[in-house]
Amino acid sequence: MNLDWSVIGENFNYLMAGAELTIIISILSIFLGFVGGIFIGMCRISKNPLIYYPSTAYVEAFRGTPLLIQIFLVYLGLSSFNIQLSAWDAGILALSLNSAAYQSEIFRGGIQSIPKGQMEAARSMGLTYNQSMFKVIIPQALRNALPPYTNEFCTMIKDSSLVSAISVMELTWSAKNVISVTFQPFVVYIFIAFLYFLMTFVTTRFMRYLEKRYAIPGMMGAE
Amino acid sequence: MSESAGDKPSASPELVKKKGPKPILIAAVAIIVVIALVAVVVAGGFLNTKEKTTLEKIKDRGYIIVGTDVPYPPFEFYNTTSAKYEGVDMEVINKVAQYLNVTVKVVPYGFSELIGAVQTGKIDVAISSMTITASREEAIDFSVPYYDANQACLVKDGSSITSAEDLRNIVVAAQLGTTGAFWVQDNLVTKGNITSGQAVVYDFVDTAVLSVQNGQSSCCIIDTPVANGYATDTAYNLHVAFTIQTNEQYGIAMKSGETSLKAAVDAALTAMKNDGSLHAILEKYNVL
């Protein structure tokens, strides 16, 4: 096996275009998953069974099945019901739905990490339930949940490679395409592994900064 | 119980300020670990130079490791009833193995990964309806050809596409790393008939065909015998709109420089052509 590193230079712009799409896909699905996760997380702590059980079923379904299958279901399966999604839309939708399930659990964990006494104290000071939730509990919950959010964001960046299976032209797809012409799997995969590492490393450093910046004094997050 | 964390708001700030290692340090360590892993792999490759030829290894172990990309009916597909890999290529390689006096072990791969698997010795040979091309021959060796094919444009019944002229500004599907995908790139994308975003390439051919069946792609460019197989399968509403004369020839792929293996495979294929057994296989699967 002869390693020809020049294929990286020859296909640099092509691979970078793929990396750009990977970044866009990751940001979009992390953001949509974040919003969806907060919504489902709120449902998960509801006392109303009509809200609690469907949201719990959603989380279990998306956490209990492989992401690749979810991507195929959204892309190929939905067309059985005459819903035609492009590979791009289907990919982002599947990634967001999946991430929302995980992020809802992170959010719920964050809320439950805030001692019950705080809610009681807020209520006794005259705040309504919603006011206590949005002004006292959730701000602290999000700050406490930053480390697990970091985990999920890194997972999303890496899992975005799965949408290459439905022909979304992101970084892994571009790499496979370059390999199919140059027959240099080792060189190309090492290079894109390095690019993925760069993306996740910048993310973890940024999240670490947020963690320090927003640590709650006196609470476990402030170590 | 639950109050314990909240009841200590006065944890001393001096204890809290503990600086972790610098980010650059962490990055440096991570990169060193990656480079070390790479070095181990590369060094391992160089140290393993004094080895037996692939043909000797095949004879020693008594079976030949064959890579193929399924499904690609009728050339290779997994029969769930018999739990066996079947098709033209499977019968051809079984016959070749008989000449070598060994048995066959089939390993499924994605088509675009096959050449890498041959190069790195993960598989002894690849038989997967692979067209012999000049660029592939730079990376691997091919046996003598055993089948002639062209490209076909597979469309959904009722499609208005009837010729290559109709392939403008529509979504065209193909399989990654195949001559069909190269044709789309060279004849549609570079000529500006479709954008690069309209040339959608899938890992597996069944996903590409399903995208046509579902309407996500307008057509799919694949080898003629496979297109005919899908067109005659009543489970799909597909037909071949037109064929493209590309004059391709399928060959069995193996590692470059394995002259003894190539000689043995070529001899087996030539004997099969002469005694009519190759013809019989092609006739059986209706791909003549």
B50 pLDDT higher than 90: no
Q: Do B139 and A183 make contact, defined as CB atoms within 8 angstroms? A: yes
- Residues of A within 8 A of B2 (CB-CB) are 115-117
- Cβ of A145: how many Cβ atoms within 10 Å? 23
Q: What is the pLDDT of residue B41?
A: 76
Domain locations in chain A as residue ranges: 6-222
Q: Do A115 and B2 make contact, defined as CB atoms within 8 angstroms? A: yes
pLDDT by residue (tens digit) across A84-138?
888 999 999 999 999 999 999 999 999 999 999 999 999 999 999 999 999 999 9
B141 pLDDT higher than 70: yes
Topology classification of domain B54-146+251-284: D-Maltodextrin-Binding Protein; domain 2 (3.40.190)
Mean pLDDT confidence for B167-179: 95
Burial class of residue B273 in the structure, from the number of CB atoms within 10 Å of its CB (0-12 exposed, 13-18 middle, 19+ buried): middle
Q: How far apart are CA B103 and CA B121, in angstroms?
A: 18
Mean pLDDT confidence for B91-120: 93
Rg (CA), chain B: 26
Q: Could you give phi then psi for residue B108, rounded to 5 degrees?
A: -80, 140
Q: Do B216 and A205 make contact, defined as CB atoms within 8 angstroms? A: no
Burial class of residue B32 in the structure, from the number of CB atoms within 10 Å of its CB (0-12 exposed, 13-18 middle, 19+ buried): exposed
Query: Partners of B66 in the beta sheet?
Result: B106, B125
pTM for this predicted structure? 0.79
B49 pLDDT higher than 70: no
Helix axes A146-159, A185-213, angle to 10 degrees: 160
- % chain B with pLDDT above 70: 90
Mean pLDDT confidence for A172-196: 91
pLDDT by residue (tens digit) across B197-253?
899 999 999 999 999 999 999 999 999 999 999 999 999 999 999 999 999 999 999
Query: B127, B92 in Cβ contact below 8 A?
Result: yes
- Residues of B within 8 A of A167 (CB-CB) are 173, 200-202, 207, 211
B3 pLDDT higher than 50: no
Pull the structure tokens for residue A19: 């990396």
Q: What is the pLDDT of residue B6?
A: 45
Q: What is the pLDDT of residue A185?
A: 85
Nearest CB neighbour to A183, from listed B4, B5, B119: B119
Query: Partners of B141 in the beta sheet?
Result: B254
**A-proximal residues of B, 28-47, CB under 8 Å:** 30, 34, 38, 41-42, 45
Q: Angle at CA A11, nearest 5°, toward B29 and B180?
A: 125
For residue B264, give Cα distances in angstroms to B59, B122, B130, B154, B282.
12, 20, 19, 37, 22
Q: What is the pLDDT of residue B39?
A: 81
Q: What is the pLDDT of residue B43?
A: 73
pLDDT by residue (tens digit) across A141-162?
999 999 999 999 999 999 999 9
Q: Which of B199, B197, B210 is closest to B71 using CA atoms? A: B210
Q: What is the pLDDT of residue A100?
A: 97
The alpha carbon of residue A117 is apart from the nearest alpha carbon of chain B, in Å, by 6
In this structure, of A36-45, A183-192, B252-261, the range with the lowest mean pLDDT score is A183-192
Check if CATH label 3.40.190.10 holds for domain B149-248: yes
Q: What is the pLDDT of residue A209?
A: 95
Domain locations in chain B as residue ranges: 54-146+251-284, 149-248
Residue of B nearest to A179 (CA): B112
Q: What is the pLDDT of residue B59?
A: 94
Q: What is the pLDDT of residue A122?
A: 95
Domain A6-222 in CATH: superfamily?
MetI-like (1.10.3720.10)
- % chain A with pLDDT above 70: 97
B4 pLDDT higher than 60: no
